[in-house]
Amino acid sequence: MTIALQDGSDPDPPFWAKLLKLFIKGEFYEALVPNPFQGKAVGMFGDVGFEDSNLDTLLLADGAMASENLPLFPLIQPARNVDIILAIDSTVNGHSFENPNVHGYPNGTTLYLTSLKLQDPNYQGYAFPKVPNAMDGSFTSAGYDRRPTLFGCEDPNAPLILYLPNHFVSAQTDMPTMQTDYTWQEIDGFFQNGFHIATQSNSSYVDPEWPACLACAMIEKQRIRNSQARTGQCSACFSRYCAK
């Protein structure tokens, strides 16, 4: 149904949409699924379990509604023992959920809010790197919205987060969330801009150490488990790309 909406509402929805709404229980309908946590009243750390364990079904929704556009929480479950997460952020920040027709680039809000959420005592069993405040401009003033950044470099318990934000390199890629039509020139610009971000190379700048730095990030947690010192090359990479 969202394909018919331009600003989160439709003053005159078609007949089929009105008919479908009779069978939908709630706004922003995504999926109504059987509750796999029904009856699970005790959490894995001895605390109170899932708060909706008494429900027969769960109404699932887009994580962006809670400003968690990056689906990181499923990856940091303790049982997974994840070493590194590549967080590619194409969020359009700087507007409310009700206004999805504006241009914008990510400013770290989704990464920061996930970090902030996991500092709550209710999530004490989940390890996650500290992230600078994106709400007061600390994140963008450090330049983390315009370059790859590693979070958690000195945290032995949390997974390493390699944050790759969408930003202008060679083409404008700050399109509104609700835009669905693109020219071939725009599409080509998306691919070129994304390639430059992923490879850290463009017509005016090339980081020849980037492939090695990626490799250093990939093996960092295993290095810690092996009680080995960082190589000189990896130390230089972490000095360059780790959040300060």
Burial 97-131 (b: 16+ CB within 10 A, else e): eeebeeeebbbbbbbbbbbbbbeeeeeeebebbeb
139-188 pLDDT, tens digit each: 999 999 999 999 999 998 999 999 999 999 999 999 887 788 999 999 99
State both tokens at 211.
């492939």
Complete edge-to-edge strand list for the sheet that includes strand 160-165: 84-89, 160-165, 149-151
Q: How far apart are CA 63 and CA 67, in angstroms?
A: 7
Give the residue with greater pLDDT, 59 vs 115.
Answer: 115
pLDDT band at 62 (very low <50, low <70, confident <90, very high): confident
Query: Does the pTM of the predicted model rise above 0.85?
Result: no
Q: What is the mean pLDDT of residues 120-148?
A: 93
- Can you give the pLDDT at residue 233? 97
pLDDT band at 229 (very low <50, low <70, confident <90, very high): very high
Q: Where are the domains positioned within the chain?
A: 1-61, 69-241
Q: What is the mean pLDDT of residues 234-242?
A: 97
Q: Which of 153, 154, 107, 157 is nearest to 132 (CA)?
A: 107
Q: What is the mean pLDDT of residues 229-237?
A: 97
- Can you give the pLDDT at residue 9? 45
> Which secondary-structure segment (H or E) carries 58?
strand 57-60
Give the residue with greater pLDDT, 73 vs 50.
Answer: 73
6-53 pLDDT, tens digit each: 334 445 666 655 555 555 555 545 678 898 888 876 655 555 666 788
- Strand 84-89 and strand 160-165: pairing? parallel
- Can you give the pLDDT at residue 106? 92
Q: How many helices (H) and strands (E) does the chain have?
A: 6, 5
> Which secondary-structure segment (H or E) carries 200?
none
Mean pLDDT of the chain: 84
- Can you give the pLDDT at residue 4? 34
